[in-house]
Amino acid sequence: MPREFSRNQRLGTQLLRTLSELLRFETKDPRIGNVSLTAVDLSRDLSVARVYFSLLDPDQDPVPTTEALTNAAGFLRSKLGKAIKVRHVPQLRFMHDDSAEQAVRIGRLIDRTIEAEAPDSTDEH
């Protein structure tokens, strides 16, 4: 009988929670201040963690934030090693998650389509 949650999922959840706290309380780089971590995807051997983040301001360029997170990866990894009990702390690779921005864009497209297809209320038949 398979387990309800695999070790991979449990470790990913723990990494996400701990990294969120570390980013909020331990980092001082202003480029990281408006970041929300959305998901952690671990490799099968748990050696690499892809950490997805979104920006609170969707119009902001994600490149400087990605660079800041990449520069802080070593610091964050050392803090993770002290906070969680694993033999090897995975490498951290930060990736921008633009799904929220895409959802807003799709919502706007749907609204425009509905407005374009709706009959004018001023026309009388």
Q: Do the beta carbons of residue 14 and residue 49 sit within 8 Å?
A: no
Give all domains of the chain, ordered by start, each with its CATH number. 7-117 (3.30.300.20)
Torsions phi, psi for 37 (to 5 deg):
-80, 135
Give the predicted TM-score (pTM) of the model: 0.76
Mean pLDDT of 92-120: 86
The pLDDT tens digits for 110-123 are 999 998 887 765 55
Mean pLDDT of 45-68: 90
Q: What H or E segment, with its residue span, contains residue 19?
A: helix 7-25
Two structure tokens written together for 96: 């921008």
The pLDDT tens digits for 18-55 are 999 999 998 888 888 889 999 999 998 899 999 999 98
- Percent of the chain at pLDDT exceeding 70: 91
